[in-house]
Amino acid sequence: MGMLLRYYESGKTEDSTYFNEDGTLKNTYHFFPNGKIQVHYSYNPKSKKAVTEAYDLNGNRLENFVFLQPVSFQGGQSDWKAFLADNLNSDLSVKNGAPVGKYEVMVSFIVGKNGKLANINALTNHGFGMEAEAVRVLKKSPKWNPEIYLGKPIDKYCKQTIVFVVKKK
């Protein structure tokens, strides 16, 4: 069990987060700069349910408030796979002489508040054009759903693995 506290420059608590003995998040409180509670988020690992209560500056409860929603491809994982199937030239590595094998290309990028991708870079170097192809396809990607934190979209650094498989002819 543990606790993490963060403070505003004024010395008032910005947020406090409590963890279970296994390191999982138990609950967190986020406060406005004036000290009033903005959000209380809790997670029950047994029921696998999260509860979020959010308030405005006057203490009125906000309905349908999103505390945290991770970055996602529009349409979800199945649409991401379809996008790759439609746009990735998976034969490029074969044409460039890659030996038989499975190659995991890791690419980093930022999903902006507006959902656009930026700073797309390959983190691996298998060669045979795989990294360049992965970067090309991500540059062609439609907007993503940005990460939501405390009810607002934020810029988020991401890593994505794209797998190339070279089979025997």
Q: Domain-by-domain residue ranges, the chain?
A: 2-65, 73-145+154-166
Residues of the chain with pLDDT under 50: none
pLDDT on residue 141: 96
Q: Taking Cα atoms as reference points, which of 153, 157, 154, 148 lies closest to residue 67?
A: 148
pLDDT on residue 118: 98
pLDDT on residue 37: 93
Q: In what order do the strands lie in the sheet with 147-149?
A: 68-69, 147-149, 152-154
Q: How far is CA 72 from CA 78, 145, 168, in A?
A: 11, 5, 34
Q: In this predicted model, what pLDDT tens digit does every residue of 115-145 receive, in sequence order?
A: 999 999 999 999 999 999 999 999 999 999 9
What is this structure's pTM? 0.79
Q: How far is CA 23 from CA 45, 80, 125, 147, 150, in A?
A: 11, 31, 34, 23, 22
Question: What CATH number has the domain spanning 73-145+154-166?
Answer: 3.30.1150
Q: Are 92 and 133 in contact (CB under 8 A)?
A: yes
pLDDT on residue 157: 97
pLDDT on residue 94: 85
